[in-house]
Structure 1
């Protein structure tokens, strides 16, 4: 799991790793079982999430968007280096990371870099990926594969600039300046106990602050979405829909820009929780 040293060969591949998502109705329940892996999620919540996918034909946009990103990444590496082949693996749906690492090993890969699509640190978005990769390496070729995960990029200037651009575009569509906007930054909620043991929340706050400073935002807040688990378990709050209701009771802004800063690309959580549920509430 350590990077190569001067006594070991250089990296010879890049593994692009993401969460994964179903690509048809028949995939939905097996995918959710992979995600949950025995977690105590109420059956009603599981069926609710399944219905979200079914409303879109059982197809998550995530895999297709990841393939587009990989194609752009391959073109960039081919043009400007380093000259590394790019492999695609997922935690929860095909192509599964174990299958991908099996292919990598057959292709002669022994030392590789890992890029994951989570910009922020938490167990489920960072360490769990490393554990899954190590488990796959141990299953495929014990002791013969090493990897180095590229650090999270929550405060990378290009990541901040991308989010600045998204808010600027949204404000332009609304006919206002970014400084006039009310902005809700959203991220996937996680259990409070998990948040207490990692830098997820501080990294999110820093990223939001950096974006807000570049745009001169004064009316913004970090909120959360897509919580699961038993209702008795504390998760990060406020929820986006609760935040919208609170805005309506208070300042009643004419426009609201919601930026899913916690998501690199569209997940079902973005399509349903924001584009459908939050939009309807507004």
Structure 2
């Protein structure tokens, strides 16, 4: 084995973060939206979504559960890497975590980002966040190297396929007759134009649909937050439901949040609340497939990605047409320069 295969000494879970009480909501959203062209009215609207749930996002607890599942899986597979966790927007913040890792003597860490698809927000921005945290920590901050994207890993496809089958069963439907909408977070077109986000999402959705035997499916988007005049990825999930129902009277619908790792606020509010309400109003029987969460196959996927980089697996697992994604991002990967409105004279 080479030195690079032997020298990793820790594992870092990198995530978005979320408020854990009413007083956290506005500071959290200010962190999320700092430097972004998002109307304040939209920020207040999103804040109200959190307040409806006591100001607590489920994401942090879900990450704690994922961390525990990973600890047990690592232990069962003799992976002796201490596990750490750092967030972009709320505690534990990446700077806090890297400082602790430095104090613990960590020098080189493998990181899993809780984002399965490549775009600025889901990859490059996290790498920039890590670089900023390393600079703040200073000399001795650990090197952090991300694992490859697992959007077409067989364990991810198996996880989502099982969740889609369960959702179809909840409707007492069949794969041949049900309509399936795969959803992901919308992003600005100026971001989408410089990454493989849509290509990866379509491939993963196709692989899951083929595995389950679903022929009537599409990829849609949710949770856009930019100003109305800025083009974002479409179509919106609720607009699509309404249009499809107007055209052919939808009977049975499964929504699959394939773009999300866990059931956090945007999944709960945009799908379990808004989309579900629309379906009830229109008499559409709807079920929502679970996100990966702590599914054993999903946890195994993360562990296998780690084993690849440790030199413990001789091949890189993938299914479909796109091949295994790169371990090291190219210099121009997922570049994005937000388009700002012209300054007033």
Q: Is TM (by shorter chain) over 0.5?
A: yes
Q: 2:79 aligns with which of 72, 77, 82?
A: 82
**Alignment match, 2:310:** none
Q: Is the Cα–Cα contact under 8 Å of residues 118 and 264 in structure 1 kept in the other structure?
A: yes
Shift of 1:211: 0.5
For residue 30 of structure 1, what is the aligned residue in structure 2?
A: 27
- Structure 2 residue aligned with 1:188: 185
CA contact (8 A) 1:179 1:215 kept: no
Q: Which runs of 5+ in 1 are unaligned?
A: none
Structure 2 CA distance, aligned partners of 1:15 and 1:48? 32
Separation of aligned partners in 2, 1:74 and 1:217: 35
Retained in 2: the 8 A contact 1:154–1:207? yes
Shift in Å, 1:38? 2.4
> Equivalents in 1 of 2:107, 2:181: separation in Å?
43
Once residues 81 and 207 of structure 1 are traced to their aligned partners in structure 2, the CA distance between those partners, rounded to angstroms, is 30
In 1, the alpha carbon distance for the partners of 2:178 and 2:139 equals 54
In 1, the alpha carbon distance for the partners of 2:157 and 2:260 equals 13
CA drift of 1:180 comes to 2.0
Structure-1 separation of matches of 2:141 and 2:92: 22
CA displacement at 1:184 relative to structure 2: 0.5
* Matched ranges for 1:215-254 at <5 A: 215-254=212-251
Larger deviation: 231-240 or 72-81? Answer: 72-81
**How big is each residue's C-alpha offset from its partner over 1:9-63, in whole Å with a ceiling of 9 and x where there is no partner?**
6111000011111111100000000001121211111110000000111111101
8 A contact 2:152–2:203 mirrored in 1: yes
Q: Distance in 2 between matches of 1:39 and 1:262?
A: 22
> Alpha-carbon deviations, 1:150-207, whole Å to 9, x = none?
0111111111111101110011111112232100000000000100000000000000
1:264 matched to 2:250? The reply is no
Deviation at 1:83, TM superposition (A): 0.7
CA distance in 2, matches of 1:70, 1:9: 23
d(CA) in 2 for partners of 1:267, 1:169: 20
Aligned to 1:147: 144
Give the stretch that moved more between structures: 97-106 or 139-148.
139-148
Go from structure 1 to structure 2 and tell me whether the alpha carbon gap of 1:112 and 1:277 turns closer, same or farther (over 3 Å shift): same
Q: Is the 8 A contact 1:160 1:210 kept in 2?
A: yes
Query: Which residue does 1:274 correspond to in 2?
Result: 271
CA distance in 1, matches of 2:98, 2:2: 22
User: What residue number does 1:11 align with?
Assistant: 8
Q: How much does 1:8 deviate?
A: 8.9
Matched residue, 1:207: 204
Stretch moving more, 172-181 or 213-222: 172-181
> How far does the alpha carbon of each residue in 1:51-106 deviate from its partner, in whole angstroms, 9 at most, with x for none?
00001111111010110011010011111132101001100001001000000000
| Length-normalised TM-score, structure 1 | 0.96
Alignment counterpart, residue 255 of structure 1, candidates 252, 258, 277:
252
What CA distance in whole angstroms lies between the structure 2 residues aligned with 1:239 and 1:118?
20
Indicate if the aligned counterparts of 1:167 and 1:178 stay in contact, CA closer than 8 A: no
Name which of 146, 153, 156 aligns with 1:156: 153
TM-score normalised per structure 2: 0.79
Residue 216 and residue 8 in structure 1: after superposition, are their counterparts in 2 closer, same or farther (change >3 A)? closer
Matched, 1:165 2:166: no
Instruction: Give the SS at the match of 1:184.
Output: strand
